[in-house]
Amino acid sequence: MHDPTPDFSVPPEPDVSSEPAHRVSLWEIIAITLGAGLLVAAGLLGLGVKALGNAFNPERAEAIAQSLMRYEVAGGSQGFFGANIGGGKMAAVVSQRRVPASQSESQSPAVELFLARMPLPEAAKTKEKAEPGAESESVPEPVNELFSGFSFSNQDIAAFQIDHTETQQKAFCGTILPVEVSTGLLLPPNGAPALPAVKYELIQPLETESRIVVVSALGANAAEQAEQTFAALKCLDAAL
């Protein structure tokens, strides 16, 4: 006979111990790791592209250059590159006048000015702080390690065929400093005729950093343009 009393007993829980546990395979671990790495790389790439785009922004480049020194370029100038890197800053500005005037497809800026202030190596800082007459280890003079070509925009070393290099003593920011002056010819990358070229390079060690100035000029008036641009430079430091 059927018992009308309802059954309120709790049904037994299923036995999950018999179900096989899912084990993460080596390939799944590799896939997860690669996926995470790709996400990070994509983020860094996006930041890098944005930073590179900002570095070549003309207004930003000229603002950084103006924060480094006062300068004048005959015929006007525009920013080419500017960045804050590792505690230092650098900028390049180019003249609005181009050479040669008759070949627009192969024109280059008549004048390019590169400015930078970069931290000195620890050894050089120690040398600067040493008392006069005190013996110290030999420390190499600071060099321009940012680029070694004719200019920041033309870093092909072989393109600048130097005929003569000399060190001249020139007035700079209230003092006299050695300036390396190189003259020769610059070979354009597209096989166009070579252009007369003059390059001024100065490296001034300061207390904790070095100031780097490179003036690159092209064309028949390259020597005059380089000298005029260099002579117009003025430091922002009150003491200089």
Instruction: Quote the percentage of the chain above a pLDDT of 90.
Output: 50
3-state secondary structure 10-46: CCCCCCCCCCCCCCCCHHHHHHHHHHHHHHHHHHHHH
pLDDT at residue 52 greater than cutoff 80: no
pLDDT, tens digit (0-9, with 9 covering 90-100), for 189-232:
777 789 999 999 999 998 889 999 999 999 999 999 999 999 99
Angle at 190 between CA 186 and CA 196, to 5 degrees: 20
Q: Which of 200, 202, 210, 203 is nearest to 117 (CA)?
A: 210
Going by pLDDT thresholds of 50, 70 and 90, the confidence category of residue 51 is very low
pLDDT, tens digit (0-9, with 9 covering 90-100), for 136-182:
444 445 556 677 899 999 999 999 999 999 999 999 999 999 999 99
Q: How far is CA 89 from the centre of its chain?
A: 8
Which CATH number is correct for 58-129+143-235, 1.10.10, 1.25.40, 2.60.40, 3.40.1000?
3.40.1000
Cβ atoms < 10 Å from Cβ of 118: 20
Per DSSP, the three-state class of 118 is strand
Q: Kindly report whether the global pTM for this prediction surpasses the value 0.75.
A: no
Segments making up each domain of the chain, as ranges = 27-56, 58-129+143-235
Q: Which residues pair with 205 in a beta bridge?
A: 210
Amino acid code (one letter) for 15: D
Angle at 52 between CA 46 and CA 57, to 5 degrees: 125
Is the previous residue joined to 20 through a cis bond, with omega within 30 degrees of 0?
no
C-alpha distance from residue 68 to each of 56, 112, 228 (Å): 17, 15, 18
Cβ atoms < 10 Å from Cβ of 63: 13
Going by pLDDT thresholds of 50, 70 and 90, the confidence category of residue 12 is low
The least confident of 55-59, 86-90, 101-105, 158-162 is: 101-105
74-85 average pLDDT score? 91
Distance CA 185, CA 194 (A): 6
Tokens coding 98: 């181009």
Angle separating helix axes 26-55 and 58-68, nearest 10 degrees? 70
pLDDT at residue 186 greater than cutoff 90: yes
Q: Which helix (H) or strand (E) element contains residue 124?
A: helix 122-129
